[in-house]
Amino acid sequence: MQTMGLALHTDKYQINMMYAHWVNGTHQQKATFEAYFRKLPFGNGYAVFAGLERIVHYIANLRFTDDDIKYLSEQEENYDSAFLEELKQFRFSGDMYSMKEGALVFPNEPLIRVESTIMEAQLIETALLNFMNFQTLIATKASRIKQVAGNDMLLEFGTRRAQEADAAVWGARAAYIAGFDATSNMLAGQKFGIPTKGTHAHSWVQSFASEQEAFNTYAKVLPDFVSLLVDTFDTLKSGVPHAIETAKMLESMGKRLGSIRLDSGDLAYLSIKARKMLDDAGLAYVKIVASNDLDENTIFNLKAQGARIDTWGVGTQLITASDQPSLGGVYKLVEHEMDGVIVPTIKISGNPEKVTTPGKKDVYRIIDRVTGKATADYICFPDEEKPHDGLRLKLFNPQHPFLQKYVRNYDAVSMLVPVFEQGIQVYELPSLDEIRDYHKEQLAIFWPEYLRKLNPEFYRINISEKAWELKQRMMAEHMEEEE
């Protein structure tokens, strides 16, 4: 999980392209790449951008170590020693713009823009996408769960099922950005300051002569942090009654039982019955925690069944994004230097959704001044007139250009902020709590129709007429060349 020594966290074809540019003498040519995704994950109405902090640390500390150079020298490509010597001096010297972490983001709009030499831009592609894709995916999944759970407490419990340590730790951070309250992962707590929570395992109960002894012993050791797992043997006949006895013991000590945890069985039925048993025993203050392969769908259904659950422990389904295990973000060249001039470039594909929009672009969020709600995202070239109050802004759907509307009386919020300028970090990374607050602010400016779990309303992503016309012209020119 260290950010030093990650120069080789890249695909081999990146190194080979860098080498080919170096041999060809084009490695110092300027280029602009944009990172984005084409399709929203989980059928959701939005995604939550995450991963910037790790990307910033990666780029700021990007160096080839002696071991890296030695390894490259042993490759079958037999890279020229002068190329390897140049890599020893490698530093990122370009510009990078990015969405802020916690932002609500949408398909086909630049989330990160990199302007640098072609060699630098190629090297960072793989790691940048790796960090952005995973963390954005997990933050989006966590936000979906938060939308369903409402004000209930959410605990991230995914470490043991995550795809290795990095996924567990950075996944816990992504979940916290999107509204989870705590994690079970102690390293994530230490590294990022995320609150940590934990109960005990079935093995604790099994290691004692009786369930009652196990509960009482645990409560005496940690009297201010007691949460008892009640389903080791029989939840309603054994676990809950014994937990009640332990609660009474704690009351005699001037303490209170915090919660019981249900980890198997019919969680709706068991929580309703357990709630009644606790209330009848005068323990209305004791909370009920549930775990066991939960996600936004099971939580939604349990709530519909009247489950009496206060806290949700969500693990496997969140940390693995089990219903969509990858985001599919891409990193595409949009302009490059040719004969000393920067020119736009386009990628043509037999799949229409893979055709890129040429040229370096900015993204603005158009906020209606009357409602305070987002109307659309507007993508344009930096050299165009920026959207501003007083400018009658034409919005049209790129897939259906005949669907148009004009807006006035709006604020245009620039979504891409400068992060690196000439290789120098100019963006002060916010605290995790500031990112969480920003995410809440983002949610607040969107109508509920865009945020709902099922059949969300489509949010408009519009490009300027100038950008649209350039794309159409370059596509037409390409078709003429093919004839």
Alpha helices in 178-315 (DSSP H): 186-192, 202-206, 211-221, 240-252, 267-280, 296-304
Amino acid at 191: K
pLDDT band, residue 462 (cuts 50/70/90):
very high
Model confidence at 3: pLDDT above 60: no
pLDDT tens digits for range 202-244: 999 999 999 999 999 999 999 999 999 999 999 999 999 999 9
Q: What is the mean pLDDT of the chain?
A: 95
* Shared domain check, 359 and 271: no
* Shared domain check, 191 and 130: no
Model confidence at 382: pLDDT above 60: yes
Of 82-91, 384-393, 420-429, the one with minimum mean pLDDT is 384-393
- Position 232 scores a pLDDT of 97
CATH of the domain at 402: 3.20.140.10
Selection from 63, 119, 70 nearest residue 88 by Cα: 63
- Domain hosting residue 453, numbered range: 12-139+325-482
pLDDT tens digits for range 130-149: 999 999 999 999 999 999 99
Selection from 479, 466, 478 nearest residue 382 by Cα: 466
Cβ burial of 200 (10 Å; 0-12, 13-18, 19+) is middle
Model confidence at 466: pLDDT above 90: yes
* Shared domain check, 215 and 134: no
Listed in sequence order, the residues at least 6 apart from 320 whose beta carbon sits closer than 8 Å to its beta carbon are 158, 161, 162, 163
Model confidence at 1: pLDDT above 60: no
Cβ burial of 241 (10 Å; 0-12, 13-18, 19+) is middle
* Shared domain check, 341 and 478: yes
**Mean pLDDT, range 445-466, rounded to an integer:** 95
* Shared domain check, 221 and 345: no
* Shared domain check, 469 and 368: yes
Last residue in a domain, options 319, 344, 374? 319
- Position 483 scores a pLDDT of 57
User: What is 184-195 written as a DSSP string?
Assistant: S-HHHHHHH---
Last residue in a domain, options 269, 298, 319? 319
Selection from 100, 66, 98, 60 nearest residue 85 by Cα: 66
Model confidence at 2: pLDDT above 60: no
Q: How many CA atoms lie within 13 A of 244 on its CB side?
A: 18
pLDDT tens digits for range 111-124: 999 999 999 999 99
Cα-Cα-Cα-Cα dihedral sign, residues 178, 184, 190, 191: negative
Number of domains in the chain: 2
Listed in sequence order, the residues at least 6 apart from 351 whose beta carbon sits closer than 8 Å to its beta carbon are none
- Position 482 scores a pLDDT of 63
Model confidence at 129: pLDDT above 60: yes
> Looking at residue 150, what DSSP letter applies?
T
Selection from 63, 83, 68, 64 nearest residue 20 by Cα: 83
* Shared domain check, 214 and 100: no
- Position 396 scores a pLDDT of 79
- Position 327 scores a pLDDT of 96
Cα–Cα distance measured from residue 149 to residue 372, given in angstroms and rounded to the nearest whole number: 25
CATH of the domain at 157: 3.20.20.70
Q: How many CA atoms lie within 13 A of 468 on its CB side?
A: 16
**Mean pLDDT, range 2-23, rounded to an integer:** 89
Of 331-335, 363-367, 464-468, the one with minimum mean pLDDT is 464-468
Listed in sequence order, the residues at least 6 apart from 223 whose beta carbon sits closer than 8 Å to its beta carbon are 250, 253, 255
What is the b/e burial string over 342-372, where b = at least 16 CB atoms within 10 angstroms of the residue's CB? eebbbeeeeeeeebbbbbbbbbbbbbbeeee
**Mean pLDDT, range 275-283, rounded to an integer:** 98
Alpha helices in 2-65 (DSSP H): 12-24, 52-60
